[in-house]
Each structure stands twice: as structure tokens, then as C-alpha cells.
Amino acid sequence: MDKMILKTHDGETWREAIERFHAFCTKPFKLEFEDEGEDLQQLGCLLGEELLKITRHVPDEEFAALEAKYNLTVPKNLKELMQEHGLFTIEECLEFFDADEDIRTFCPIIKPFLEGLQFNWTHEVAGDLLSCSMTQEQCDSLNQHLFFFGIIWYGHERCEYLCFDREGNFSTLYFESDDIHETVQKHILPILEGKAACMTLDQVIAYAVDKVIDGMIGKGNDIFSVVEYGLQETEFEKKILSDEDKEEEDDDDEDDDDLSPTDLAGEIKRVASLKLTMPALPKDGQRYLSQDLRGKYVHFKGLKHSGDFVVGRYDLDDTWYTQYKISAIYCEGDMVIDGDIINNKPDMFPKLIVTGDLYVRSWLRGGMPAFIGGSVFASGVLVGEYNDTPLYVVKDLHADAYLIRPEAEKNTHQIGGMIHARTIDLRQENARRELRKLLPEALVSDGKDIGYDSHAMIQIAAEGRSVWKKKITL
């Protein structure tokens, strides 16, 4: 492959970097399949659509409002890029803020340091920084002087922000959510100490394009990669390239705990094609619905599944959604699970989005946020596990028991209709004493405090029994 396409050169402008990426997309790639010999594909053809998408052009009045809000002068060349060329995304690897119309009102094109981190991660990130040798004054200083306008994704926990400061200097900031201490020591403190490299906008965009191309040819990006001839393609690439010709594999010995989206008759698509409209969702769910969605999602046109629907299990190192890089499960219509939904991993992906009703026996709720456009009908229990992430339901919730862990954040469990379930919300004061109303076999104790055993509760419900000492009909 032409090395001039793969890497930037001295003096490359941001326009030339974008043109170089277009050239990269039209360059033929040779891929080899075990049984089918060689196949020649253009990268653009490989994915079936343009990788680089212009989302919109930013008007003058929007810049004026941002400059007034932050007492800031946006660099002239950045304005030119955003106005003349327009905001853009490159698949799930590179995106400007405000890439999605649905989130524009709370994701402006430019965000101060802390707001940018909080948007992509959590509102607790400021506390995490303070616990890693940063002072409040240092956080405030960065928030006043450093602004984000784009982001390069290296994975679900790793990214690099595109930044500028009040003096018009550009730079990047690497951020790793599962190792904030090292991020602070190696990447944030050097900025405060004046040791960060100063770049031009041209250099930042050229650098970002280089990183995207590196990721696509399998160097350092665990979200998406494309390989050249002679290298083994990933399972996801096999899925994209050979589904039409590939015969169904014998799945007689398939373990239900390792079901793939295709086993469930789901179709893998790119998040860019997903148009989410759930206007009746509780307001906090509306705001969170599209946030951080990137990469791929699996689309079901209604789903009826016999057996447990295992999204993540703590004793499984790998899951189908990590293998296929799935950030959302989207069910258009009702989801009917003749068994339990099992998700007891802390991962915040994938999101579960159901436009209709959800029917399930019991639901073990770990890190997977859920958005239900109708009602939830559970004959057993809804029980939180680990951080017990958001649950937003448009209509009613029916269950024998609905237990919310104390780690669940405020306003993350919102039911638009009625809750037809005996509920224990351990975020509430004195709620723990309500646990004594559960069957003894559903409880655990350390000799001082009692808690509930979520797995025991799931098993009790599977046996057709109530988890309560005395069942009350609601």
C-alpha cells in the first residue's frame, strides 16, 4: 500500500489529511478466507457506505453563543473547519462533538475539560481526578483553559481528546477510564506543568487521521480493524464480508451462554444508521438514550427466545457483545424471553433498547442500561447486581420483586407508569430492614448486616415461588 496514504507528511493541512483518508477508503484491500481464496475489496465497499460523514455546518450565531458563555475566542481555523467543511465522524473511530442531532442540546460543539470528561464517562470523574493527586484548583484551571472539540476512540475505555486552549494552541489528551491514576500522572499533569506538546489544527487533524488508519489496519484500536492480505481477519470482519456466502455452521453443541447475535436472528449494523425516537421515555432516559453509542449494534425485529438471554456473566471472560463490538441491543417491537435475562457484569455496554414490551421471567441487572418503550412484565424478580445501571420504562413494571442496589445513581430508575411489584430501594434510608421480609434463603449476612442474594432470588423465581415470606397481590 502507498505509504503516503498511511501517514501524514510535513506541512499537511487538515483538508489534505481528510482527502488522504478518502484515498485510503478507495484503496483496494486483499483479504483471504480459509475456504474461499483471495478477495479484493475497497474499504468503502467493505462497509457499504461512506466512512467519513459530514453531520452539519456550524452557523455564526452558535459560535457567538459559545464564546459568550465561556468568555472564549474560538480559533479562526477551527471555525473555518466547522463552518466550511462541517463537523464530521469517521465510523466509530473519530468524531466531533455534536455529531448527533438528538443530543445537540446537551452536547455543544465545544466543551470545557470537566464537562467533556463527564459527557463521555460519568459525573464522578471529577472526584476520581481529585483522588489521583490532582487538586481542586488544578481541575478548575483546566476547566477554565482547556476545551475539547473532538475525540478519537481506541476502545470502550480508551480515547484521545482533540483540544485547544485560550491562547489558540492545539493538542490532544489521552484518557483511559479504567486507569485514571496513570492518565493523570502521564497525560494530565504534564499539561498543567507546561510540558504538553503544542500543535496546530492541521497537525491535530492529520494525527487523528493517522490514528484512525492505524486502527483500521489493526494497529492499536480494539473497536474496529481491517487487515491486509496475509493477516488473519477478525470474526467481525468475517461476519461483514462473508455472511451472504457462508453456510450455517452446525450449532448442535452450541452453549446457550455463548449465543451470538446471528444465533438469535439479529442483524449487526452500524450505530450511525440507528435513528432512536422514544419520545415518551422519562426525561433522563431521553437524555441518556443516545449518549456514548458508537460502533455496532444488533437489530432484532421483535425477539422471541426460549431459554436464558445471557448478555454478560461474571465467569465468562469473553462475551458475544465484546467479540462483535456491540454497544446496543435494539429490539424493534416486543422482546419475549422464555427464561431469564442474565447480566451480572459491570460493563456499561451494551445498552438494551426495546421499543415495545419486555416479557421475561426474571432479570438480573448488572452494568447494562435499559430503555423500554412499553411495559416490563416479569413473573419473577428484577434484581440489581453490581452498579445496577439505569432502567427507564415508558409504561408499567410488573414483577414479584423489584430490588434496587444502593450503588444505583439518582434518577437512574424511572418508571413512567405504575410499579406493580413489591419494591426495596436500598438507596433510601432504613430500606435495608425491609430485606427481612424476603425468604431466609434469599438473604446473606456477614454477621453484622444482611443483604440479598440475587442469584438465590433468580433460582427461587425459576422454581415458580415468590421470594417473599408472605406474598401480597398488587
Using pLDDT thresholds of 50, 70 and 90, give the confidence band for residue 132.
Answer: confident
pLDDT tops 80 at residue 231:
no
What pairing do the DSSP bridges indicate for beta strands 397-404 and 376-378? parallel
> Can you name the residues that pair with 296 across neighbouring β-strands?
270, 326
pLDDT in tens, 189-207: 888 888 777 899 999 999 9
Mean pLDDT of the chain: 77
Q: Are 245 and 36 in contact (CB under 8 A)?
A: yes
> Can you name the residues that pair with 331 across neighbouring β-strands?
300, 354
Amino acid code (one letter) for 416: G
Amino acid code (one letter) for 49: E
In angstroms, the CA 258 to CA 248 distance is: 16
pLDDT in tens, 47-83: 434 567 787 888 898 899 889 999 999 999 999 999 9
Domain chopping of the chain, boundaries: 3-216, 259-462
What pLDDT is recorded for position 50?
56
In angstroms, the CA 197 to CA 446 distance is: 52
DSSP letter for 264, please.
Answer: T
Span between the terminal Cα atoms of the chain, in Å: 67
pLDDT in tens, 291-303: 767 667 888 888 8
pLDDT in tens, 146-159: 999 999 888 767 88
Residue 201 φ/ψ, nearest 5 degrees:
-60, -40
The residues, any chain, with a CB within 8 Å of residue 411's CB and separated by 6 or more, are: 284
Q: What DSSP element (H or E) covers 215? A: helix 201-216
Amino acid code (one letter) for 146: L
| Mean pLDDT along residues 161-178 | 90
CA angle 184–185–186, rounded 5-degree value: 100
Residue of 101 and 276 predicted with greater confidence: 276
What pLDDT is recorded for position 445?
80
What pLDDT is recorded for position 106?
44
61: its cell numbers: 450565531
pLDDT tops 70 at residue 261:
no
- Output the CA torsion sign for 226, 228, 229, 231: negative
Q: Is the peptide bond before 350 cis (omega within 30 degrees of 0)?
A: yes
Percent with pLDDT over 70 in the chain: 73
Instruction: Please state whether 339 falls in left (phi above 0), alpha (psi between -120 and 50) or beta.
Output: left
Q: Are 323 and 340 in contact (CB under 8 A)?
A: no
Q: What DSSP element (H or E) covers 94? A: strand 94-96
Q: How many Cβ atoms sit within 10 Å of the Cβ of residue 244? A: 5
387: its cell numbers: 452498579
Amino acid code (one letter) for 108: P
Residue of 184 and 126 predicted with greater confidence: 184
Residue of 194 and 372 predicted with greater confidence: 372
Instruction: Please state whether 210 falls in left (phi above 0), alpha (psi between -120 and 50) or beta.
Output: alpha
pLDDT in tens, 449-473: 788 899 999 999 999 999 998 754 4
184: its cell numbers: 493523570
pLDDT tops 70 at residue 264:
no
106: its cell numbers: 446537551
In angstroms, the CA 179 to CA 176 distance is: 6
124: its cell numbers: 464522578
In angstroms, the CA 402 to CA 387 distance is: 15
In angstroms, the CA 325 to CA 111 distance is: 27
Can you point out the beta strands (E) in 97-157? 111-112, 146-153
286: its cell numbers: 431521553
Q: How many Cβ atoms sit within 10 Å of the Cβ of residue 108? A: 17
| Mean pLDDT along residues 31-38 | 37
What pLDDT is recorded for position 308?
87
The residues, any chain, with a CB within 8 Å of residue 373's CB and separated by 6 or more, are: 278, 280, 281, 354, 355, 356, 394
Residue of 334 and 296 predicted with greater confidence: 334
What pLDDT is recorded for position 434?
87
Which range is least confidently modeled, 111-120, 281-290, 330-339, 393-402? 281-290
Taking alpha carbons only, the member of 152, 169, 157 closest to residue 206 is: 152
One DSSP character per residue, 302-328 reads SEEEES-EEEE-TT-S--HHHHTTEEE
